[in-house]
Structure 1
Amino acid sequence: MLAIAVLCCLAVSAIADPAVYFQEDFSDGWEDRWVQSEHKADLGKFVLSHGKFYGDAEKDNGIQTSQDARFYALSAKFDKPFSNEGKTFVVQFTVKHEQSIDCGGGYVKIFPSDVDQKDMHGESPYNIMFGPDICGPGTKKVHVIFTYKGKNLLIKKDIRCKDDVFTHLYTLIVRPDNTYEVKIDNKKVESGSLEEDWDFLQPKTIKDPNAKKPEDYDERETIDDPEDVKPEEWDQPEHIADPDAKKPDDWDDEMDGEWEPPMVDNPEYKGEWKPKQIPNPSYQGKWVHPEIDNPDYEADDSLYKYADFGVIGFDLWQVKAGTIFDNVLLTDDEALAEKVGEETWGASKDAEKAMKDAQDEEEKAAREEEEKRRKEEEGDDEDELPMEDMEDLEDDEDMEEEQEHDEL
Structure 2
Amino acid sequence: MRLKKAAVFGFLCAIIAEAQAKVYFEETFSDDEWQKRWTVSKHRDDLGVFRVYPGIFHADANASRGLQTSQDAKFYAISSQLTETIDNTDKPLVVQFTVKHEQGIDCGGGYVKLLPPEFDSDKFDGDSKYNIMFGPDICGLKRKIHFILHHENQNKELKKEIGCPVDEYTHLYRLVVQPNQTYSISLDDKLVSEGLLVDDFDLLTPKNIKDPTAVKPEDWVDDATIPDPEDKKPEDWVDGPALIPDPEASKPDDWDDEADGSWEPPQIPNPDYNGPWSPKLISNPDYKGPWEAPLIPNPDYRDDPLLHAFNTAYIGFDLWQVKSGTIFDNILITDDVEYAQEFADKIFFAYRDVELQAKKKYDELVQKVKDEEGENTFDDNDTEEQDDKEAEEAAPPVLKEQEEPDELDELFANYEQQLGIKDEL
TM over 0.5: yes
Alignment of 1:197-236 (within 5 A): 197-231=200-234, 233-236=237-240
Distance 1:49 1:371, change over 3 A: closer
Match of 2:56 in 1: 52
Distance 1:267 1:52 in 2: 79
| 1:208-262 CA distance string (max 9 Å, x none) | 1122221321122221112223445332455666777788888888888777777
Match of 2:284 in 1: 280
User: Does the 8 Å CA contact 2:77/2:125 hold for their aligned counterparts?
Assistant: yes
Query: Within the alignment, does 1:96 sit opposite 2:104 as a pair?
Result: no
| CA deviation after TM superposition for structure 1 residue 200, in Å | 2.1
Query: Within the alignment, does 1:296 sit opposite 2:307 as a pair?
Result: no
Q: 2:113 aligns with which of 102, 109, 112?
A: 109
Distance 1:243 1:353 in 2: 85
Distance 1:233 1:132, change over 3 A: same
Q: Which entry has the higher C-alpha Rg, 1 or 2?
A: 1
Q: Over aligned residue pairs, what C-alpha RMSD do you find? A: 3.2
| CA deviation after TM superposition for structure 1 residue 304, in Å | 1.4
Query: Within the alignment, does 1:156 sit opposite 2:173 as a pair?
Result: no
| CA deviation after TM superposition for structure 1 residue 205, in Å | 0.9
Gaps of 5+ in 1: 1-8, 378-408
Distance 1:85 1:149 in 2: 17
Distance 1:340 1:235, change over 3 A: same
Distance 1:262 1:333, change over 3 A: farther
User: Does the 8 Å CA contact 1:172/1:183 hold for their aligned counterparts?
Assistant: yes
Distance 1:315 1:247, change over 3 A: farther
Q: 1:34 aligns with which of 38, 48, 61?
A: 38
Distance 1:99 1:246 in 2: 82
Query: Within the alignment, does 1:343 sit opposite 2:382 as a pair?
Result: no
| CA deviation after TM superposition for structure 1 residue 332, in Å | 0.6
| CA deviation after TM superposition for structure 1 residue 321, in Å | 1.6
Distance 1:67 1:276, change over 3 A: same
User: Does the 8 Å CA contact 1:77/1:113 hold for their aligned counterparts?
Assistant: no
Match of 2:409 in 1: none
Query: Within the alignment, does 1:76 sit opposite 2:80 as a pair?
Result: yes
Identity %: 50
SS of structure 1 residue aligned to 2:237:
helix
Query: Within the alignment, does 1:123 sit opposite 2:97 as a pair?
Result: no
Amino acid at match of 1:101: I
Aligned positions, number: 364
Match of 1:6 in 2: none
Distance 2:98 2:19 in 1: 26
| CA deviation after TM superposition for structure 1 residue 51, in Å | 1.9
Gaps of 5+ in 2: 1-11, 381-425
Distance 1:95 1:156 in 2: 23
Distance 1:234 1:304, change over 3 A: same
Match of 1:325 in 2: 328
Range with bigger deviation, 351-360 or 336-345: 351-360
Query: Within the alignment, does 1:166 sit opposite 2:165 as a pair?
Result: no
| CA deviation after TM superposition for structure 1 residue 300, in Å | 2.0
| CA deviation after TM superposition for structure 1 residue 311, in Å | 1.1
| 1:141-165 CA distance string (max 9 Å, x none) | 1111111222211112122222222
Match of 1:67 in 2: 71
Q: 1:87 aligns with which of 77, 88, 91?
A: 91
User: Does the 8 Å CA contact 2:111/2:137 hold for their aligned counterparts?
Assistant: yes
Distance 2:76 2:51 in 1: 12
Distance 1:71 1:247, change over 3 A: farther
Distance 1:84 1:281, change over 3 A: closer
Scaled by the length of structure 1, the TM-score of the pair is: 0.79
| CA deviation after TM superposition for structure 1 residue 184, in Å | 0.8
Q: 2:317 aligns with which of 314, 330, 333?
A: 314
Match of 1:134 in 2: 138
| CA deviation after TM superposition for structure 1 residue 107, in Å | 0.5
Distance 2:255 2:366 in 1: 81
Distance 1:192 1:253, change over 3 A: same
Distance 2:374 2:244 in 1: 69
SS of structure 1 residue aligned to 2:26:
strand
User: Does the 8 Å CA contact 1:73/1:313 hold for their aligned counterparts?
Assistant: yes
Distance 1:176 1:258, change over 3 A: same
Distance 1:34 1:253, change over 3 A: farther
| 1:294-317 CA distance string (max 9 Å, x none) | 1111222221111x2111110111
SS of structure 2 residue aligned to 1:234:
coil
Distance 2:48 2:146 in 1: 22
Query: Within the alignment, does 1:358 sit opposite 2:361 as a pair?
Result: yes
Match of 1:184 in 2: 187
Distance 1:211 1:125 in 2: 42
Distance 1:322 1:238 in 2: 73
| CA deviation after TM superposition for structure 1 residue 366, in Å | 7.7
Amino acid at match of 1:217: W
Amino acid at match of 1:133: D
Distance 1:342 1:249 in 2: 102
Match of 1:145 in 2: 148
| 1:305-363 CA distance string (max 9 Å, x none) | 11x21111101111222211111100010001111112112122111112222344556
Scaled by the length of structure 2, the TM-score of the pair is: 0.76
User: Does the 8 Å CA contact 1:99/1:323 hold for their aligned counterparts?
Assistant: yes
